[in-house]
Structure 1
Amino acid sequence: MTPNTETANRPANARQITRASVVLNPNGGSVPADGRQMLEALLADLGVSARFEVIDHDCEAACQRALEQEADTIIVWGGDGTAACALNTLGPDDPPILPLPGGTMNMLHKLVHGGDLDPAECLRAVLENPVEMDIAAGEVLEHRFYVGALMGGLTRLAAPREALRKADIFQAVTEFGEANAFGLDTPMRCIADTGNQHDAQALGIFLSEDPGRPGFDVLATAPEGLLDLAYTGLTGLLADWRNAWGVERDFASRVDVEALESTGIEATLDGEPVTLPRNARFVLIRKAARVLTARKA
């Protein structure tokens, strides 16, 4: 799923983009090996001068270096996690971010750019007709996420899924065994501001796909046995566990989550692992950041 947005009322069509800072994640799931050279040539063809900051191990530092350059926009080429890092690092008074799809899922990018996720086409369309878009976020204990939060043992699938994406089958199998994602030891209870309560072994809180309906899509699953959990786990590893059998759904703008048998909650926020306390509240931030798009309201 993708995060909710509202297109800003302030027009950006008159914006003349001639200078850009580029934050490039060379390890993005779909960034080609010659990505920098390709982007340099495309920007030159479009009449945009650019300074590049390549992420090594510190995305925030790269974003800060990009911010030091005088630029009309900061282009961020990477996956959802890279985009989230940039959105969290840069403030509302900084140049707007132009996210380019360079990850595996690219859920945020699908909302920003629509169905066409070719980076060159996205870049060309935005630079020819930039429109500012407000991006919503979820927040829990001062941590913000722009795509979704996952909680429970199934969050341990992040490492084997990354290995599988890189076609390292042996590493994927090794990571999967070490993850113990099938351990039935993560019971949680979530209560939405709708009044609905869900007991779950795995819980997802995603920003809504519908721009006209801000909120969280809440998905909870409580498999009745190892076979059900195995099915859900393999779906999460190979595709998207939100489409698995037995997932309950809700819609909310505030969600309280409690770990029933542990002192903390295993979670990933936009793919980044965190450990939350036993009780955690998720709230919706309707206008958390802004990006550039070519889409109209």
Structure 2
Amino acid sequence: MRRVEIIANIASGSVGPDAPAEAERILTEHGVEGSVHTPGEGQLEACLREVIDSAPDAVFILAGDGTARAAAEMSGPDGPPIAPLPGGTMNMLPRALYGERTWQEAMAACLETGEPRMVSGGEVAGRLFFVAAILGSPALWAEAREAARSGKVRLAISRAQRAFRRAFSGRLRYTLDGRPKGKTEALTLMCPLVSTALDEDERALEVAALDPTSALDIFRLGVNALSGHWREDPSVSMGRCRVGRVWAGGHIPAILDGEPMRLDPEVHIRFRPKAFRAVSLPQ
């Protein structure tokens, strides 16, 4: 790599105000040209677009899960390779690519031995994800947890109460790859990048129907899903899919690569074999 552009969100997770200077130091130590961008509030999307359009050898993202997902989606399979460094809370994509390295360790490793690698992903309602998506009421626990981590106790309690109230009141209907319709509390979709049930080059998503039978099961399932241990949950049934449709009586709560969001009452799912190019490390 001769030129690397870095986008750092100093307000995100584990980044902090000293990160830009530290990132510049690591670039200098490795003899790589580049700049560190610190977009302010409301400037992130424009900054991502400008940096990606400048066609550097790679774009390093030091921010949270939402920014990492947005950068990978914006660059796509034809743009510059993206290195999502662990600067957020869950760091789903960074962990999938670089393990438990700190952002400094991951950045140095990418500059030393990183190489472009095509990564597959999934799409829900036109939005891409590269690690996992959760659709349904267990996704509401992410909002409660984020409020608790921010020290907003009242908001965390309110969101936890809302998650309990939504349990069993908004079940999902779905059909996958033309198979018969099903009904479930939630669906989890896992990409080949992290799925232990799929080969890395397999052209499908791992899908699990999560169907608990009590509020206690919902709580356990929400915790297991957020911690990545949902396969072990007794209410889970597994499968694979390339395309699908999911619908409900109201808006569908969801988490895409750690980013909570609310989707329309009907959404379409599909597997994307060439989603974006990542800066990958040798296995």
TM-score when scaled to structure 1?
0.80
Matches within 5 A, 1:11-22: 17-22=1-6
The CA distance in 2 between the partners of 1:233 and 1:111, in whole Å, is: 21
Partner of 1:97: 82
Aligned residue identity for 1:37? A
Partner of 2:278: 291
The CA distance in 2 between the partners of 1:273 and 1:175, in whole Å, is: 14
Matched, 1:153 2:141: no
- Where 1:274 maps in the other structure, the secondary structure is strand
The CA distance in 2 between the partners of 1:198 and 1:165, in whole Å, is: 35
Partner of 2:97: 112
Deviations 1:60-112 (A, max 9, x none): 22202323546321111123321110012224443221221222222222332
Matched, 1:84 2:72: no
The CA distance in 2 between the partners of 1:65 and 1:49, in whole Å, is: 17
- Where 1:74 maps in the other structure, the secondary structure is strand
Runs of 4+ aligned structure 1 residues displaced above 6 Å come to none
Please, which of 165, 169, 173 is the counterpart of residue 157 of structure 2?
173
- Where 1:283 maps in the other structure, the secondary structure is strand
Partner of 2:210: 221
The CA distance in 2 between the partners of 1:132 and 1:185, in whole Å, is: 45
The CA distance in 2 between the partners of 1:141 and 1:235, in whole Å, is: 25
Tell me if the contact between 1:267 and 1:276 (Cα under 8 Å) persists in the aligned partners: no
- Where 2:135 maps in the other structure, the secondary structure is strand
The CA distance in 2 between the partners of 1:160 and 1:46, in whole Å, is: 41
- Where 2:49 maps in the other structure, the secondary structure is helix
Note closer, same or farther for the CA distance 1:78–1:244 as it changes in structure 2 (3 Å cut).
farther
Where does structure 1 lack aligned partners over 5 or more consecutive residues?
1-16
TM-score when scaled to structure 2?
0.84
The CA distance in 1 between the partners of 2:142 and 2:100, in whole Å, is: 26
Note closer, same or farther for the CA distance 1:267–1:141 as it changes in structure 2 (3 Å cut).
same
Equivalent pairs counted in the alignment come to 275
Partner of 1:12: none
- Where 1:191 maps in the other structure, the secondary structure is strand
The CA distance in 1 between the partners of 2:250 and 2:153, in whole Å, is: 34
CA apart distance, 1:264: 4.2
Matched, 1:189 2:189: no
Note closer, same or farther for the CA distance 1:127–1:234 as it changes in structure 2 (3 Å cut).
closer
Matches within 5 A, 1:5-84: 17-58=1-42, 59-67=44-52, 69=54, 71-84=56-69
Please, which of 182, 186, 194 is the counterpart of residue 202 of structure 1?
186
Please, which of 213, 233, 240 is the counterpart of residue 251 of structure 1?
240
Note closer, same or farther for the CA distance 1:172–1:143 as it changes in structure 2 (3 Å cut).
same
Deviations 1:115-160 (A, max 9, x none): 3422222222221223111011212342222222221122222321
CA RMSD of aligned residues (A): 2.6
Deviations 1:162-221 (A, max 9, x none): 123335444422332345554321111333338476421122112132424342121222
Where does structure 2 lack aligned partners over 5 or more consecutive residues?
none
- Where 1:185 maps in the other structure, the secondary structure is coil
